[in-house]
Structure 1
Amino acid sequence: MKLIALGLNHLTAPVSLREQVAFDEDTTAAALHELAREPGIDEALILSTCNRTELYVSVTAGAESVPQAWLSRHHRLTPGKLDEFLYRHDGDAAVRHMFRVATGLDSMVLGEPQILGQVKDAYQQARQANALKTPMDRLLQHTFAVAKRVRTDTRIGAHTVSVAFTAVRLAERVFTDLRQACVLLIGAGDTMELAARHLTEKQVRRLIIANRTLENAQELAGRHGGYAISLHDLPQHLAEADIVIASTAARQPVLTREVVEKAIAARRRRPMFMVDIAVPRDIDPAVGELGDVYLYGIDDLRQVIDDNRRSRENAAREADAIIDLQVERYMAWLRALTIRNPAVDLRLHAESYRDQVLEKARAMLARGKSPEEALAFLANTLTNKLLHHPSARLREAALSGDHDLLHAAGRLYGLDENESVETSDE
């Protein structure tokens, strides 16, 4: 089996393509079942976030091209459309990539912590779909341990900014004093939780939270002193917002050009600042063509993020050193799975002899032999059977002068190598 990591991310593909290959929570389980049934696929995991879509698969020899073909076919893309945007890592390079992803070293925000939770979610989905076996399950467990160690032993997480924080920081550049701004958050997931927390710290004048499930919006609003609405009520409240930050799992835009155009008219041309950090996008890109609307997508946040990146690059180098060591440890464990362990064979061999001799000793007792006679037979016969082959090989080694085998036998059986090895007949 070969481990392959195949995918695209914010560095290799534009958001317009990333949203075409994204998987949402509702479709991932079915996609995992479909992928796991592909010829040559033995294990599968799908990781899909706003910045990346990746497949981690174990494949048999000759099936290396199956994951890429499946990805294009599943999303009904023209064959070859993804070729120039995809990256692929095999074997230990795939292990290293997974470790770097989970520790935030491959993220737009270097060292950001949210990705680890997303990897854990992907792991749970793959387990529930029965798409994992021992090798990849062990890899994921190792991944979580590596991420924890990197967080503990380096400063990769020090002063880290999340995408949500970056969106708020960008809004603050436009609206110098957020205490005068009304902010609308579309979505109620972890990203919006972080955004709401940052906005509360900035003491925004008003916070509105819109979500498909009103109860979730109400819970988030209750924690941060906001006002909750459903997505259905967005058109009635959009004109109130000076700042809009959107991050939902919707497959289609929740804000169209027409809705935003009406809101701008109602605002009497007062500017509206919008940040769309969802993939697929929540705000129709055509909204950016409207006057008095300043629309930023997730890829536009890179400059703000880069300003904060340099302070963590030394920590990233330390993290890479830890990862290199842990990659080798996992690969050593994986190699051991493919090596036949003689200790297992030896034990099975000995247990087989034991069962045979024990059965004969019981038969002796059943025929009326004394317990002492049956025990003597058991001990002598079992000893002779277990030592027959080793003794024969040691006799041959002594006659041929094979000192390496003689010394190895001394080490194997815990004997004093300074003493001669017994080679007498049984």
Structure 2
Amino acid sequence: MLVDEIMYCISINHKNSDLKIRKQFAFSEDTQKALLNCLVTSGCINECLIVCTCNRMELYFVGNENAVSFAKNTLAEYSGFEVSRLSKQIFLFYDDKAISHLYNVVSGIDSMVIGEDEILGQIKRAYTFAQRCKTTGYELNTVFQAAIACAKRIKTETVLSKTSVSMATLAANEVARLGENVSVMVIGATGKIGTSLVKNLVSHKNISIITTLRNHNNDLTYRNDVSAVEYNDRYKYIDKVDCLISATSSPHYTITYYDLQKCLKENKNRLFIDLAVPPDIDKEIEKISGIRLVDVDYFKTLAKENNSLKLSSIDEAKKIIEEEIEALKKDMLFHSFLPYIDAVKMKLKEKSFEELLYKLREELSAEEFEKILNVYKTFGGVE
């Protein structure tokens, strides 16, 4: 690039951190906004964007040589995670590698469930949020718009996402395997993951669904046999269900050991699925007889089978990514050169064409020089 500042990415994800660590970086929107504003007023970072999902927290930023140190210190401050430990925990990508990492993430190649659809929407929302916070500029705008367009192309031209299995799908399949007639309660049905979860659950005929709503003005129009109860009344109905799934963005537990052990009367096996980060369900409930609790990390194992089916499409997707990144780099190089065009044109009038050719021959490799000569020949109409 023709600029001193470059793009970086600090990543904490399912590959390098367990759920206990990731939940410390599951920042609320208010915290994300404060963090982004802190970074862009630092003097060493001009642009920044944060992605927070169940499986990753990634900070993309453009800055100078002091940017990485300041970003790590800021993440440590906002998460309460010791900066010395953070340095050992993170993946750090910079320049072309940061761009390549983003393309792999948004296309679903880097996901726990390869090819899953949810990450594209999550990246879009993160980008839109950063725009609203006014913390993006030319470079992040250009890179993220191009990465999103590339992910759409991969979805169209490969089968990577054609049989996509998201976390919501895996959870629904786990519930369906419980038996002939399964009753499930979903907490957080109107949220991002919850909406997808309920749609997956209703595709199974052996599942009846109870959702919790904080007010009955919310409308769930998936199927007639999806019933809704007030969130505050949830413990009144839990004793009758075979499974409970919680997928909210609440900073507090939606299910606690203290309240749950008081309401359970019927002695039977029950499955509790926690799809939230930070967790929605108090881990202490595992002390109650018959209860099995699984969280997002559990689905890593289930995802492996799905991922093996997608491996043949990854190479095809990576070729598309290489093409798209090459086009992106050309666009960004051309943009950075625009301020110099008039000055170069004036200088060329003072120099001979032969001088330029000799200079190019001196500076370029044989392969690069051949491409330049071919362009000149085509431009001159002699080939």
Task: Give the C-alpha shift of residue 346 in structure 1.
Answer: 6.8
Shift, 1:220, TM fit: 2.1
Q: CA deviation at 1:285?
A: 1.4
When the two structures are superposed, what TM-score results if normalisation uses the length of structure 2? 0.86
Structure 2 distance, partners of 1:37, 1:169, is: 46
Shift of 1:253: 1.3
Aligned positions of 1:329-340 closer than 5 A: 329-339=327-337
Partner of 1:7: helix, strand, or coil? strand
**3-state DSSP class of the match of 1:84?**
helix
1:58 is matched with which residue?
A: 62
**8 Å Cα contact 1:170-1:304 kept in structure 2:** no
Query: Is residue 39–residue 66 contact of structure 1 (8 Å, CA) maintained in 2?
Result: no
What is the aligned counterpart of 1:166 among 167, 170, 175? Answer: 170
| TM-score normalised over the length of structure 1 | 0.78
Distance 1:141 1:316 in 2: 21
Distance 1:63 1:190 in 2: 32
Amino acid at match of 1:324: E
AA at the equivalent of 2:122: Q
Residues of 2 paired with 1:86 and 1:247: CA distance? Answer: 26
Aligned to 1:176: 179
Asked if the contact 1:44/1:56 (under 8 Å) is kept, the reply is yes
Structure 1 segments of 4 or more deviating over 6 A?
Answer: 414-417
SS at match of 1:127: helix
Per-residue Cα deviation, 1:76-102 (whole angstroms, up to 9, x for no partner): 223323233211110011001111111
* Contact 1:15–1:299 under 8 Å retained in 2: yes
Which residue number corresponds to residue 245 of structure 2? 245
- Aligned residue number for residue 226 of structure 1: 226
Alpha-carbon distance between aligned partners in 2 of 1:112 and 1:190, rounded to the nearest angstrom? 14
2:362 is aligned to: none
Matched, 1:299 2:297: yes
* Residue-by-residue CA offset, 1:348-375 (whole Å, 9 max, x unaligned): x8xxxxxxxxxxxxxxxxxxxxxxxxxx
User: In the alignment, what sits opposite 1:356?
Assistant: none
* Cα pair distance change 1:19/1:215, threshold 3 Å: farther
Q: In structure 2, the residue corresponding to 1:19 is in which secondary structure?
A: helix
In the TM superposition, 1:92-111 aligns within 5 A as 92-111=96-115
Structure 1 counterpart of 2:307, from 285, 306, 309: 309
Deviations 1:233-286 (A, max 9, x none): 22222212211111000012111111221233x22x211111111111110111
Aligned equivalents of 2:311, 2:277: Cα separation in 1? 27
Q: Which of 271, 275, 278 is equivalent to 1:277? A: 275
Identical columns (%): 25
The structure having more radius of gyration, on CA atoms, is: 1
Give the structure 2 partner of residue 421 of structure 1: none
1:135 to 133, 139, 155: 139
- Aligned match of 2:196: 194
CA–CA distance in 2 between the matches of 1:163 and 1:404? 57
Match of 1:367 in 2: none
Preserved CA contact (<8 Å) 1:209 1:221: no
For residues 403 and 32 of structure 1, what CA distance do their matches in structure 2 show? 46
Q: Secondary structure at the match of 1:279?
A: coil
DSSP 3-state at the match of 2:25: coil
The verdict on how the C-alpha distance between 1:30 and 1:224 changes in structure 2, with shifts beyond 3 A counting, is farther
In structure 2, the partner of 1:78 is 82
Q: Distance in 1 between matches of 2:321 and 2:111?
A: 16
Q: CA deviation at 1:310?
A: 0.8
Partner in structure 2 of residue 263 of structure 1: 263
User: Is structure 2 residue 160 aligned with structure 1 residue 156?
Assistant: yes
State the secondary structure of the residue aligned to 1:176: coil
Residue matched to 2:26 = 22
Residue identity opposite 2:226 in structure 1: G
Unmatched segments (≥5 aa) in structure 2: 359-371
Q: Name the SS for the 1:203 alignment partner.
A: coil
Q: Quick one: distance in 2 between partners of 1:403 and 1:229?
A: 76
Assess, with a 3 A threshold, how the Cα gap between structure 1 residues 390 and 324 changes in structure 2: closer, same or farther. closer
Could you say which residue in structure 2 is the equivalent of 1:368? none
Give the root-mean-square deviation of aligned CA atoms.
Answer: 2.7
Alpha-carbon displacement from aligned partner over 1:309-347 (angstroms, at most 9, x marks no partner): 111101012111211222222223333344365433478
Give the CA deviation at 1:230: 3.0
